[in-house]
Amino acid sequence: MGVLIVQIVVLLLLAIGCALCAWYFPYPSPVVRRWLPPRQRWPELQVRGWLAGAPFQKSFLRYFYRDPERDPPDGLDLLAPADGIIRGADIQGDIRYLVIALSFWDMHVQRSPLEGVVVSVESLGDSFMDGEGQEFAFLRGKPCPVQKRVVIRTSAGILAIRLITSLAARRLETWINAGEYVARGQRIGKILLGSTVVLELPPSMSLTVQIGDRVWAGETVVALHKAPA
């Protein structure tokens, strides 16, 4: 009798596991969710469908995807690549990372801080940020989360702009390619439902903004131009 009970319990547990799989499909059931890598915990196709689908009002999407003209100020100083709030300006190694956090209500088209030639457009990251806290994973040599890094050779040296988004949104567009010329303030890409833009600068450049300042893409000067030594 004891063996029968053990057999029934084992089969019942397995049957519950299978039933949960069927119940939650195509989402991962709670039985397997914890064992999956982060990216597989959410069904990407469903999330994309949700983002592209009906839940958002069209009027809101028109507002969210707005792309107004900007009027860059005269001069050679570096412009903000994105709308948002300055969240960091740390120097790590020989790079200063100017972090601009975009809110849900900010315009999400990015612009070139200076004129120059695009050196490369890299796609990086395919997983969640691996740690909590203020520090970005890429500062620790890890590419996550999803991001694109646009490197531009300018009169002030090599600059890079990182367009970073969450894994859920996971939609970045860049409108430039390696070898192309970009003008100061030119549109370079768009983050769809994304979060952060990071401008990589030579550390010798003098910033004109500080943490907490609001900046506007293509209009706000964030650093003074300085030719490389």
Q: What is the largest CA-CA distance in the chain?
A: 89
Distance CA 200, CA 93 (A): 11
Instruction: Give the residue with the Cβ less far from another protein, 17 or 68.
Output: 17
Peptide bond preceding 202 in cis form (omega within 30 of 0):
no
Stretch that binds another protein, among 5-13, 61-69, 87-95, 109-117 (CB under 8 A): 5-13
Whether 195 sits among the annotated catalytic residues: the reply is yes
Q: Nearest approach, Cβ of 15 to another protein (angstroms)? A: 6
Stretch that binds another protein, among 7-15, 72-80, 149-157, 164-172 (CB under 8 A): 7-15
Choosing from 11, 52, 61, 211, the residue that interacts with another protein (CB under 8 A) is: 11
Instruction: Give the residue with the Cβ less far from another protein, 31 or 207.
Output: 31
Cα angle value 28/32/123 (rounded, 5°): 65
**Residue in 144, 136, 187, 191 with CA at minimum distance from that of residue 169:** 191
Pick the catalytic residue from 103, 123, 195, 206.
Answer: 195
Q: Which of residues 35-94 bind another protein (CB under 8 A)?
A: 35-37, 40
Instruction: Give the residue with the Cβ less far from another protein, 10 or 91.
Output: 10
Q: Does 1 bind another protein (CB under 8 A)?
A: yes
Stretch that binds another protein, among 29-37, 84-92, 113-121, 135-143 (CB under 8 A): 29-37
Q: Which two tokens stand for residue 156?
A: 């002030």
Residue with tokens 């550390």: 203
- # residues near another protein by CB under 8 A: 20
- Taking the CB of residue 188, how many other CB atoms lie within 10 A of it? 25
Distances (CA, A) of 5 to 2, 16, 23, 105, 196: 5, 16, 26, 59, 56
Q: Nearest approach, Cβ of 127 to another protein (angstroms)? A: 13
List the x/- string, 154-183, binding to another protein by CB under 8 A.
Answer: ------------------------------
Distance CA 1, CA 170 (A): 55
Instruction: Indicate the DSSP class of residue 127.
Output: S
Q: What is the dihedral of CA 173, 178, 184, 185, to 10 degrees?
A: 0
Point out which residues bind another protein (CB under 8 A): 1, 3-4, 7-8, 10-11, 14-15, 17-18, 21, 28-29, 31-32, 35-37, 40
